[in-house]
Structure 1
Amino acid sequence: MSHALCPWNTYAFGCVKSESSCHNYKILRVSSYYENSERYVFNFEIYELSSDSWRVLDGVTDKWRLHHSDDVVSLKGNAYWMHKDREAGHNVLLSFDFTAEVFVSFPLPDQSDDDRRDLAMSVVREEHLAVLHHNTGTFLTEMNVWLSNKIDEAKEVSWSKFLVVSFDNFKYPRYPKEMNFWVDDENKVVVTCVRDINHRDHVYIVGEDLHKHVYEVANDTWIWPCFLSYVPSLCHIPKAKEEES
């Protein structure tokens, strides 16, 4: 393991796929730093909870970068995040397969005017990926939410447009890329969390005919609001005991 100073560490969580109820959970760490103030270097390491140990992941090209600003989600044991493919000239969906310990690239939906689109990603019911994007190069006032097919062993990802939401009825985000959201695919609504240009945090429930403002608070810190999910098989939340009559 390298002992070089790594000021930026980014982590992704996943597990080895198994029919057993006991999974081998792993953490991918991508450390990045400048070497001699000239060359940007990436180190890739794997931590296994079963052995409580780190090891270097060899043979990985710098093309598979994971930056400290990237939002990473976990689904079906693998990690997913969006990445700018400089060779292809557009954004792609990157995945790390924790079973095979390899990186895989998938297409994202609607790559027209890609450089001017801000993207965010979420997981739906442990079955689908959801992508939210809108064009920041014009004064368009809508965002699009896309839903993937069920993520499985097919190694293919396809997309369908799930919802188009207008910005007319809620505050425009200060930094659209920092938006967080959840998708309720059964009721076809999106719960989104944004910070507006006046440093106020908002939570909205939006749909085709629904724009509901449910939360607002002033916040002058640089800690952005976000939604967090957890892995049910790893972290159990105890239920409250019923009061005795």
Structure 2
Amino acid sequence: MLCHTDKGTTVWNPWLKQISTWIRHPRFEFVGRCYDGSNWTSIWGNYNVWIIHDFAFVAWRHVTSGDSDQRKEQLKIMHSEIGGSLNGSLFWIAYLDETDPVYRLCRFDFYKERFYTFCDLPCGMSHPHDALVVSFFKGDRFTVLKQCHVTKEIEIWVTKNMINVEDGDDVVWVSFMTFSIPTFPSLVQAEPYSDQQPSYYIDDKRLVVCSCDENGKAWIYVLGENKLISKVQLDSVVDPWPSHCTYFPSLVPVPREKDEAELHV
């Protein structure tokens, strides 16, 4: 998990209660991080300028401009600043403009340090406050959650087959779950928090979602069989408008500089 503080940013493994050295990054926004089986790498961006932080070497480097196709990919608008990583690549939702009917998954290859359009999503957004977020399903497939702001209907798509991160031409999306609950709350709120998307995961036939209400209170909702099974408010645990994500326990140690004093959480 990536944690932001006044001192900078650090990677933290809550399972091991271990954090890395502080990352100090002037005027750049975090986009995503990737673990390729041997090393952690993160990418940061600011107005189409991209930099990579290599945890093993504790070093920064700029992503160099490539051919015209690469520059064209960089001009796409990110729907959300945070992406997800799979097999050495980072993915996030992007679109060409606000009238784009179908959004896309864009991919950043950390090995080649290049941007690509990977595949189309099964949907776009019809309202500025629609929820639209991508996650992973069973560790090797994509899943997309969309909530219509008007009807409050939630639909979940998953990719039919295991993802080949090198080629998105054969990606097929199938509708996996639909929840039509008119009284269900909006998962995306009005300005200035309309860019905060929900986080979620699929537990067998149930959907578990975390989002904030109009007052910034965090809630966890459990849905199944087209109904709300339970909901829990986290007001005594977190501050208003918290950042949140799905976290799975991992025994992968966080890379740290040599001879650094141990930091306790």
Alignment TM-score > 0.5, same fold: yes
Q: Using structure 1 for the length normalisation, give the TM-score.
A: 0.72
Matched, 1:165 2:170: no
Please say which structure displays the higher CA radius of gyration.
1
Q: Which runs of 5+ in 1 are unaligned?
A: 17-21, 33-40, 237-245
Matched, 1:70 2:81: yes
Matched, 1:61 2:71: yes
1:27 counterpart SS class: strand
Quick one: distance in 2 between partners of 1:172 and 1:26? 34
Following TM superposition, the consecutive aligned residue runs of length 4 or more in structure 1 with deviations greater than 6 angstroms are none
Q: How does 1:122-201 map to 2 (within 5 A)?
A: 122-136=135-149, 139-148=150-159, 149-153=161-165, 155-156=167-168, 157-168=171-182, 170-173=184-187, 175=189, 178-184=197-203, 187-201=204-218
Matched, 1:234 2:252: yes
Give the total of aligned pairs: 214
CA apart distance, 1:154: 5.3
Quick one: distance in 2 between partners of 1:96 and 1:57? 11
Identical counterparts, % of pairs: 19
Match of 1:7 in 2: 27
Deviates more, 1:143-152 or 1:204-213: 204-213
The question of whether the paired residues in 2 share the 8 Å contact of 1:9 and 1:68 is answered with: no
Match of 2:12 in 1: none
Q: Which runs of 5+ in 2 are unaligned?
A: 1-24, 255-265
The question of whether the paired residues in 2 share the 8 Å contact of 1:91 and 1:114 is answered with: no
Quick one: distance in 2 between partners of 1:28 and 1:230? 21
Quick one: distance in 1 between partners of 2:28 and 2:78? 8
Quick one: distance in 2 between partners of 1:173 and 1:87? 20
Q: 1:194 to 1:51 in 2, by over 3 A?
A: closer
Post-superposition CA distance 1:140-174 (Å, at most 9, x none): 13111111232125512321111001233543335
Q: 1:167 to 1:178 in 2, by over 3 A?
A: farther
Match of 2:223 in 1: 206
CA apart distance, 1:232: 3.0
The question of whether the paired residues in 1 share the 8 Å contact of 2:143 and 2:156 is answered with: yes
In structure 2, what residue type is equivalent to 1:80? F
Q: How does 1:220-231 map to 2 (within 5 A)?
A: 222-224=240-242, 226-229=244-247
Q: Using structure 2 for the length normalisation, give the TM-score.
A: 0.67
In structure 2, what residue type is equivalent to 1:179? P
The question of whether the paired residues in 2 share the 8 Å contact of 1:71 and 1:121 is answered with: no
Q: 1:94 to 1:88 in 2, by over 3 A?
A: farther
Q: 1:118 to 1:159 in 2, by over 3 A?
A: same
Match of 2:132 in 1: 119
The question of whether the paired residues in 1 share the 8 Å contact of 2:217 and 2:240 is answered with: no
Quick one: distance in 2 between partners of 1:76 and 1:68? 22
Q: 1:204 to 1:116 in 2, by over 3 A?
A: closer
Match of 1:23 in 2: 38
2:56 counterpart SS class: coil
Q: 1:69 to 1:8 in 2, by over 3 A?
A: farther
CA apart distance, 1:197: 2.8
CA apart distance, 1:107: 0.5
Post-superposition CA distance 1:188-223 (Å, at most 9, x none): 211001222344332111122452224124489553
In structure 2, what residue type is equivalent to 1:55? R
RMSD, matched Cα:
3.3
In structure 1, what residue type is equivalent to 2:155? N
Post-superposition CA distance 1:82-138 (Å, at most 9, x none): 1122399342111112222221212001348487743112222321221111333xx
